[in-house]
Amino acid sequence: MKKTLLTALLLLSVPAQAAPRVAPRVARASASAEPTAESSLPPAPPFSEDIQRALDELVRVELARGPHAGLSVGVLHEGKRWTRGYGWRNLAHHLPATPRTTYRMASITKSFTAVAVLQLAQQGKLGLDAELQSLVPAVPPKQWPVTVRELLGHLGGVPNYDGPESSNNVRHLDTAGALALFVQKPLVAEPGTKFVYTTWGYNLLGAAVESASGQGYGDYLREHVFGPAGMRYAAMDDYRTRDRQHAVGYRLEKGKLLPSQYLDVSSRFAGGGTRASVEDLLAFGQAVLQHKLVTPDTARLMQTSMSTRDGQLTDYGMGFATYPLRGHYTVTHAGGQPETSTLLVLLPAEDVVLALATNLENDAKRLRRVSTRILETLLEDGQVRREASLADPVDAVVHEGLARLFSYGLAYHQWATHGPGVLPEPGDLSAAFTQVGTLLDRARISENPQEAMGRVREGHHPLAGSLLIRVGTHMARTLEQVEGAQALRDYPRRGPLAFFNAYVAACERVDCPAPLRFTEPLREDALRYEHEWRRSQVPELLRVRLDEVARPETLWPTLEAATAGVSLHPDYVEEMLHVAALQGRVGRREQQRRWLERAVALHPRSDEARQALAKLLGQDKPTPRSTPPRAPPVATPRDPVPDNAGRLPKRAAQQE
């Protein structure tokens, strides 16, 4: 593996014969893979030394990109555990961040609340389809009735806070005071018709927990969620009860770390009012996967995406965002508030729990990058999984369809066979395969590639008969029968084209019925794509990102040659923009401009690359494209990118 940028910086900072040390300002690690004496977790075997080094390295590389305060990371996989702390939970007093450090959980609190509600539903103390007013009489009648089920999935039409309510600092509000901030507001959508992410809606669920249980919300969590899960340090967040282990919050302003502004979170108690450590989060995730808190049937409800009345999946179940990611069925929640950014990721089929927390605000992108690299290290042989960049808009639509067959099909199959999931009824598979062939027919796509892309991206929804899920899961099931379960687990590393072409080959071996073999033109496209994909790979970049290489300039000739003359190659836009940003940070404006120009040349349909170059050159508008209008990005489903206010769309909306 190439030396990373961080390794190079460290080697420059020590004498030639001295062993490299990590300077505290870069990333000071604390704690080991084993829990501390105060740990929330029982003893567990560590990962191998190689895996531990790889995980530690990737976190350090990410932290070397820019300012950070403290970061705590925890990983569980098939009984093995790794935890670390980096940087400082308190910069002024040089107190290190550790796995024991507690942080504000922000919107991960919603996952705790959902568990509490569903526990009470299991006990018959509340009904998921009960109208809210029957449980919380303080809520006045609305334009439409709202049910508990709808609130759990952000389908109740309850608004999210904005304006002065979002920063309300009336201190130490009780439940009645928290509800009084918004209960008179009208619904913003008819329940069931629109996904409206809302912390206020989860506050209503917290009030329902109190009504149904006869306990205060915090007392209920402590007794029925935190205690049974082994979350030793989880609690409601209250400045009056914090100890020295709690992280001091920071914000980044003009390149400097400043203390976070004060915000009392009692007003968002059940939607964002708790604190915990990453060890607590690992314990919670493990308890969810092992069904210690709710039954497998209830876990299935939590992990199944809800849908709007017209049949659109929301990518959010009950208390968790849930969607496929590169063939993995992902159950996750993020959080962001003054003082904190947090992320919890569960992979039920692979028995994985990831927990990350930092005391730096608005750091969600960094946490997602770290979580992605961890999954690549644990499950995909460390290979960097890049999206595909395609020059031709028709190819872009066809490849998108193949990618979605892979990601939805493999993820849902694994979730149903190795987790609590269930699949949609297969229905008439011959007709479904014919529909996919029509959807990805080049002649039809060429009439209007943009509309065709939209149809492909609707293909997994119930309104489309869950077409891509039904066909994709049949493909995964066939591959498992022919190649075995272990081979199937390798396809997230191998990618969508290998998955599709392997299915075609498997059909030859088992003599699939003709309608289940796809059309010949589609098979030819898939073979051509895979050939170009393999040809365009850069061996030096298989397990390392371009922006992690100490001297990326030395790899540019190889990268340029590998991608020349092909219509499909890996998408390096994000990495090239990071390389340019690093050059700009150290005052190398010419090199920064050169890397942005390269990004535009290599990805001529990338708006992001052109906008970055235009900004550097001081242009008001990006240079016009010399290629046809850009089709929507070609990718397997992935984490959404927040807007400037930190809001996430749809599945998404996981962050306060």
Q: What is the pLDDT of residues 158-200, one digit of tens each?
A: 999 865 555 556 678 899 999 999 999 999 999 999 999 999 9
Quick one: pLDDT at residue 634?
Answer: 28
Whether residue 218 is found in the same domain as residue 243? yes
Whether residue 323 is found in the same domain as residue 450? no
DSSP E strands in 518-623: the ranges are 568-570
Whether residue 404 is found in the same domain as residue 509? yes
Count structural domains, the chain: 3
Q: Tell me phi and psi for residue 308, to 5 degrees.
A: -75, 170
Quick one: pLDDT at residue 630?
Answer: 30
Task: Give the residue among 304, 301, 334 at the shortest CA–CA distance from 316.
Answer: 304
Whether residue 438 is found in the same domain as residue 301? no
**Cβ-proximal residues to 454 (8 Å cutoff; 6+ apart), any chain:** 632
Give me the amino acid identity at 446.
S
Whether residue 473 is found in the same domain as residue 587? no
How far apart (Å, rounded) are the C-alpha atoms in residues 83 and 52? Answer: 9
Are 326 and 492 a contacting pair, CB within 8 Å? yes
Domain end position, chosen among 360, 379, 398: 379
Give me the amino acid identity at 235.
A
Quick one: pLDDT at residue 6?
Answer: 32
Q: Which residue has the tokens 């009012």?
A: 273
How far apart (Å, rounded) are the C-alpha atoms in residues 510 and 508? Answer: 6
Give me the amino acid identity at 583.
Q
The pTM of the full predicted model, rounded to 2 decimals, is: 0.89
Quick one: pLDDT at residue 35?
Answer: 43
Residue-range definition of the domain harbouring residue 599: 539-617
Whether residue 242 is found in the same domain as residue 360? yes
Whether residue 256 is found in the same domain as residue 141? yes
Are 198 and 162 a contacting pair, CB within 8 Å? no
Quick one: pLDDT at residue 169?
Answer: 63
Residue 317 lies in a domain: yes
Q: State the sign of the Cα–Cα–Cα–Cα dihedral 247, 251, 255, 257.
A: negative
Quick one: pLDDT at residue 165?
Answer: 56
Whether residue 332 is found in the same domain as residue 446? no
Kindly report the CATH number assigned to the domain that includes residue 119.
Answer: 3.40.710.10
**Cβ-proximal residues to 96 (8 Å cutoff; 6+ apart), any chain:** 28, 30, 70, 85, 87, 88, 89
| DSSP-derived secondary structure letter, 43 | -
Whether residue 599 is found in the same domain as residue 452? no
Residue 637 lies in a domain: no
- Alpha-carbon Rg for the chain, nearest whole angstrom, is 25
Whether residue 480 is found in the same domain as residue 561? no
Residue 556 lies in a domain: yes
Whether residue 157 is found in the same domain as residue 292? yes
| Regions of the chain where pLDDT drops below 70 | 1-40, 162-170, 619-656
